[in-house]
Every structure is written in C-alpha cells, then in structure tokens.
Amino acid sequence: TGAGKSYTVKTFLTRASLIWNTNAIILDWVGEYEKWVRQAGGKVINLGKERLNILDLVDTNSRSRVKQIISSLDILCDLKSYPNERDHIEEALEAVYDRRAKDGKAQQRPTLLDVVNLLEEKGDKKAARLLKRFTSEGTDFFAGSSTIDIKTLTRSGLVCIDLHNLPTEEMRSLAGLTILQYIKEIMRAEGMKEDRR
C-alpha cells in the first residue's frame, strides 16, 4: 500500500492512450479507478447495475465455453470436492447449449438460470444449489442476458469495469474470470494488429 502501483498503471495507460490511441479495460475490484477514468474521458461500466451472461459465446464454441465455465466454478465453488455435481453441471451446460441449437435459437444464448432450471427438472437439487448463489434475486448478475458487449468494449478506448458493487468477492471473481476469458478469446481470434502496436 502506498508504493505507487495505481499511479504507475494510470500513468502508463494515459501515455499509451495519448501516444498510441490504445484500448484498455480495467477490472476495478474496489472502485479506485472510476473517477480517474471519467476524468480521462473513458467509459465506466458499473457491473452491479448490469448483467453478464457467463454462457455467452465470445469468439469460441459451446464446448470450449463449457470447459471455461467449469474451470471458473472449480475455483469459485470448489466443484472438485463435489465430483458428481460437477459432472451434472457440466452435462447441464452442454444440454442447454444443445437445446437452444436444436430449437433453432442458437443466437439466443442460454443463461445460468436455464442450467439451474434443468438441474432442478432432473431432480439434482444439490448441483442446482451450488449454482443458485449466482441466480437468486439480488445476486442474479449472471443469470440473464448480457447488457454489456465485451467485444465492443475492447475497441472503446479506456474502459473501467467497476466490480466493487457486486455483493461478494466470489461474484467479483466470477465476473473478472469471465471477462478475462472473453478477452482472451477475442485476442486469439483477432491476432496481432500492427496498426494498434
């Protein structure tokens, strides 16, 4: 604390923006960048007032996205301690993607709420309970359709995604992991761009 980490990041991003017109996304856990980003002419997204569908496919396929979601839940929900429920959640994720594709609704992405509902339909209450913490009223930031477009944000100059209004560290972590996974897939799909240095 007080060593100048935030100042260094702000200085670097300001110079990169002025010199190279770079794009930058800041995942702000504690709300320390909001004021500075606004002053710098950037955009602030308050994730506590938005929705982020963790089942969105951003430059990836459903199978790869299922693996990414499971790896995030392994970390956040300790799914490896619940091997049966882990398998059921993975199967339910695959099933909701397949169900949308078969119904001809591939453009309309399933949501985490669809996964919970499917698990409950199958009578798998324990697996459903592991996910309900992200779909219950007041904690349903990941349960509906996305209100933000990560792909657009990667081309929007300086962007602060403010996570500090999410109610738990677990939710901030799920949002951060999901956004980083999306950005990685966008970068992988687009490759290096010389004009962006």
- What is the tens place of the pLDDT at every residue in 135-153? 988 888 888 889 999 889 8
Angstrom distance (rounded) from CA 109 to CA 31: 30
Contact 58, 187 (CB under 8 A): no
According to the model, what pLDDT value does residue 4 have? 86
The pLDDT value recorded for residue 142 is: 87
With contact defined as beta carbons under 8 Å apart, do 79 and 70 qualify?
Answer: yes
Contact (CB, 8 A) for 75 and 178 = no
Q: pLDDT tens, 150-188?
A: 889 888 889 999 999 999 999 999 999 999 999 999 988
Give which of 108, 14, 71 is closest to 26, Cα–Cα: 14
What's the whole-model pTM score? 0.83
Give 70-127 pLDDT, tens digit per residue: 999 999 889 999 999 999 999 999 999 998 777 766 557 899 999 999 999 999 999 9
User: Which has more confidence, 190 or 62?
Assistant: 62
- Residue 63 phi/psi, 5-degree rounding, is -65, -45
From the list 65, 76, 70, 20, the residue with the least C-alpha distance to 184 is 65
Q: Which residues lie below 8 Å from residue 81, measured CB to CB, with a gap of 6+?
A: none
Is 196's pLDDT higher than 60? no
> What is the residue type of 100?
R
pLDDT at position 104, please? Answer: 65
Which of 32, 35, 8 lies closest to 163, judged by CA? 32
pLDDT tens column, 16-45: 887 888 889 999 999 989 999 999 888 999
